């Protein structure tokens, strides 16, 4: 098999390691939202506290359990970023009584560009 064929064969192999890199990148972006920007994936600020809510700590970081629970895993074809904290879904999607404060997802532009760069670097290394 020639050099070109070998490189193409590498591209057709399962990409679990690429999906791991993508998942870890999105996980890092999510953790940064908690620590620094306090925004949803669209870049919008999280909804403020309701007037009657006891205000101790920052929005979504009262105990820091939610931020610490952000995880990433992958298969050969998929990366997944999630929390195993049950109330994470209430914050992500909101409820009848609570505004959504999405924290998992990709911000168009900066986040998607960073993921694109991870994928391009991975492919470049395979072809090198």
Q: How confident is the model at residue 25 (pLDDT cuts 50, 70, 90)?
A: very high
Contact between 114 and 92 under an 8 Å Cβ cutoff? The reply is no
Instruction: Report the candidate in 72, 70, 73, 110 with the shortest Cα–Cα distance to residue 91.
Output: 70
Residue of 60 and 49 predicted with greater confidence = 49
Question: Over pLDDT 90: what percentage of the chain?
Answer: 33
Lowest mean pLDDT among 1-10, 37-46, 53-62, 113-122: 53-62
* Total number of domains constituting the chain: 1
Q: Within 13 A of 77's CA, how many CA atoms are on the CB side?
A: 1
Q: What is the DSSP letter of 45?
A: B
Which residues on neighbouring strands pair with residue 72, listed in sequence order? 81
Query: Over the chain, what is the mean pLDDT?
Result: 83
Contact between 42 and 84 under an 8 Å Cβ cutoff? The reply is no
Token readout for 87 is 């109330």
Q: How confident is the model at residue 7 (pLDDT cuts 50, 70, 90)?
A: low
Which residues on neighbouring strands pair with residue 84, listed in sequence order? none
Alpha-helical runs (H) found in 1-128: 3-11, 16-32, 65-68, 88-93, 110-127
Task: Tell me: pLDDT of 59 over 70.
Answer: no
Domain range for 81 is: 3-127
pLDDT at site 45: 87
pTM: 0.79
């Amino acid at each position: 098999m020639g050099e070109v064929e070998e490189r193409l064969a590498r591209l057709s192999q399962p990409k679990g390691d690429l999906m791991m890199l993508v998942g870890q990148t999105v996980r890092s972006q999510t953790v940064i939202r908690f620590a620094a920007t306090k925004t949803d994936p669209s870049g919008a600020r999280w909804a403020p506290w309701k007037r009657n809510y006891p205000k101790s700590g920052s929005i979504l970081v009262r105990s820091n359990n939610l931020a610490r629970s952000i995880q990433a895993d992958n298969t050969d074809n998929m990366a997944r970023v999630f929390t195993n904290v049950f109330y994470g879904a209430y914050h992500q999607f909101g409820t009848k009584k609570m505004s959504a404060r999405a924290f998992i997802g990709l911000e168009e532009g900066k986040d998607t560009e960073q993921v694109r760069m991870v994928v391009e670097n991975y492919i470049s290394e395979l072809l090198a």
